[in-house]
Amino acid sequence: MPSPFCFIKPCFTNLAIYFCFNIFMKSLLCRFTILTCVLFSLTQCAKPIYDLTGSIYGTITDAKTGAPVRNAEIVLTPGNISSVSGSAGNYEYLSLQPGQYKLSVIAYGYTYNTKQVNVVAGQQTICDMLLYPEEMTSGVEFSATTLNFGSQYDELALEIRNNGNAGDISWTITGIDVPWLSVSPSEGVVPMGNSQSVKVRINRTSITADEVTFFNVNAAGGSQSIKVQVSAGQGGGGSDNGGSDSGENVTNGLYAHYKFEGDCKNSADGAPSAQPINSPSYVDGVSGGKALKFSVSDNSYILVPEPLIDGGTYSISFWVKGLSDGHIFHVVSSGQYGLGFVLTMRDGALTFMSDGYEFVYQYNNVTSFAHPTIDSSKWTMVTLTSKYTSGVEKSEVKLYLNGEYVDVINEEGVGYQNVNYGTKFVFGGEVEYYGGSMRSCGMSIDNLRVYDNRVLTASEVEKIYNYEK
C-alpha cells in the first residue's frame, strides 16, 4: 500500500521548485535593476566636456554703414584673451567656463566699445558689437594711443597737442570703467600751437593679474581711444617720456618689434609674428644677438599678415647692413595701385613714397632724401617718422640715421585712399610695379620697430639708437 505521503511529496517538490524559481527571478530582476541604475548614473556623470563650457561668437560692424570691421582687436576679461576679427568682422571664443565676461573692442579709426556677456554651460552666446567711426579734427594729436605700464611704472604721461589753426581746443576724458585707473586733469583747454600733459596713474594694489582697458579723449567734436596695458608687478616707477621702459628703450606706442633672435616673432603686444618667405638666413646682429639676412638670388623676404602702417602718422625704425639700390619695404594695398608706403634706395639715396601712385607712375621723378653716404659694410639705424595732416593732404616724413636727424620730405596731395586699406607688410624681396619690377637690396636687418599713430621725437630716436647700438 502506498504511503499516504507519496501524494504529498510531489506537491512539496513542486512547491520547492516554484519558490526557488521565484527567488531566482526576483534576484535576477534586482540585479538588472541595480545594473540599470548604475549605467544611468554613469551616463549622467559622463556628460561630454562641451556641455560643461560655453562659447561666445559674433560680428563687429560699422555703426553707420553696417559694413564688417576687419582686424578689430577683441579683448576678453577675465583672462585678457585677445583675438582679431576676420575679413567678415567675425570672432569666436570657445571652451569658456560659465560666468560673467567683458568684451572690449578697438579698431583703427573707431572709438572703442564694451559689453558684458554671460556664458552658460552648453550654450553659444551671440554678442554682436557696433563701432562708431572716430571723427578727429586735423588739429588734435596725441603722443601715444597705447600706454604700456608694464610691471614697472605707476604713472605715464599722455600729451595732447593742438597743431591746428582753428583756435583753442577743449578736451575731456571719459570711459574709465575700472577702479585702479585715474587721470589728472580729466579736462582742459589747449591753446593753438601748444600742448597739455595728462598724468595717467594706476593703483597696483588693486591689480592681481595682467589688465587691458581703454578710455576716450574727446576733443574738437571727435574722440580718440587710448589703450592701457598693465602687467602684474610691484611698480614704483614713473616716466616723463611717455613710457620708455628704461629711459632708453622707448616702448610707448610700440606696435611691433621684431628682434630676429632666431625667429620672426613680435615681442610687442600688437602685430602678429612675421612669416619668413624663401628661407632668409640668420647672421650676427647689431649688439651680439642675431639678425635676418635676405638673399637676392632666392628672393627671400618677410611678410606680416597685416599692414603695420595703414595711416599717415607713424614711426618705423630698423638696423640695416649690406644696403644697395633696390626695394626695402612696402605695404600691400587693396587700393587701385596695389601698394603704398614704399621705401627704396635709388642711386645710393633712400627714397620714400606714401602713395602707391607715386611709385607706380612717377618713381624716377620722386625726390630722395639728402643724406650722407651709407656704409654698407657697417650696421646703420634708419628711422622714418611721418606726420600726416588731413584736409590739406600733406605728409611730413623725417629721416634719421644712427639717431641723428638728416632730412625731411614734405609730400603734398597725398592720396591715402590708395593705402588706407592695406592688407600686408613686406620687408625685403622683389616688388613689381607698372612696367617692371625692382629687386631686393639683399640686405641684413635687425630690430625692426613700428610705432602706431606715434611720431617719435628726435630725443626718443637718439635714445633708441643708444639703447640698441
What cell numbers appear for 168 in the block? 583753442
Q: Region 19-36: what's the mean pLDDT?
A: 54
- Give the C-alpha separation, 317 to 77, whole Å: 33
Alpha-helix residue ranges (DSSP H) falling in 345-435: 356-362
Closest CA to 301 of 444, 134, 125: 444
Closest CA to 137 of 35, 224, 209, 77: 224
DSSP 47-64: --GGGS-EEEEEEEEETT
Per-residue pLDDT at 214: 93
- Give the C-alpha separation, 261 to 283, whole Å: 10
Per-residue pLDDT at 441: 87
Per-residue pLDDT at 263: 92
3-state secondary structure of 426: strand
Looking at the structure, give the CATH architecture of the domain made up of residues 140-238: Sandwich (2.60)
Per-residue pLDDT at 316: 96
- Give the C-alpha separation, 422 to 412, whole Å: 21
Domain boundaries along the sequence of the chain: 50-131, 140-238, 254-468
Task: Estimate to the nearest angstrom the gap between the alpha carbon of 318 and the chain centroid.
Answer: 20
Q: Region 413-442: what's the mean pLDDT?
A: 73
Q: Region 117-127: what's the mean pLDDT?
A: 94
- Give the C-alpha separation, 279 to 65, whole Å: 42
3-state secondary structure of 41: helix
Q: Region 438-454: what's the mean pLDDT?
A: 91
Cα–Cα distance list, 291 to 30, 48, 462 (Å): 76, 48, 21
Q: What are phi and psi of 261, to 5 degrees?
A: -85, 65
Which residues is 318 bridged to in the sheet?
382
Of residues 436 and 109, the one with the higher pLDDT is 109
Q: Residue 374: CB partners within 8 Å, gap ≥ 6?
A: 323, 348, 350, 380, 401
Q: Residue 33: CB partners within 8 Å, gap ≥ 6?
A: none
Q: Region 363-372: what's the mean pLDDT?
A: 84
Q: What are phi and psi of 46, to 5 degrees?
A: -100, 45
Mean pLDDT, the chain, integer: 81
Q: What percent of the chain has pLDDT over 90?
A: 40
Looking at the structure, give the CATH architecture of the domain made up of residues 254-468: Sandwich (2.60)
Q: Region 39-53: what's the mean pLDDT?
A: 57
Per-residue pLDDT at 398: 92
Cα–Cα distance list, 123 to 94, 126, 171 (Å): 11, 10, 43
pLDDT tens-digit series, residues 68-103: 999 899 999 988 898 999 999 999 999 999 999 999
**Does 197 have pLDDT greater than 70?**
yes
Q: What are phi and psi of 9, to 5 degrees?
A: -60, -45
pLDDT tens-digit series, residues 149-183: 887 778 888 888 887 767 788 999 999 999 999 99
- HSE-CB for 385 with a 13 A CA cutoff: 19
User: What DSSP designation does 362 have?
Assistant: H
> Range with the lowest mean pLDDT among 43-47, 74-78, 358-362?
43-47
Task: Classify domain 50-131 at the CATH class level.
Answer: mainly beta
Per-residue pLDDT at 392: 63
Q: What are phi and psi of 296, to 5 degrees?
A: -70, -45
**Does 350 have pLDDT greater than 80?**
yes
Per-residue pLDDT at 395: 81
Please check whether the two domains, 50-131 and 140-238, share a CATH topology.
yes
Q: Region 261-269: what's the mean pLDDT?
A: 88
**Does 318 have pLDDT greater than 90?**
yes
Q: Region 349-371: what's the mean pLDDT?
A: 80
Per-residue pLDDT at 354: 81
User: What DSSP designation does 274 have?
Assistant: P
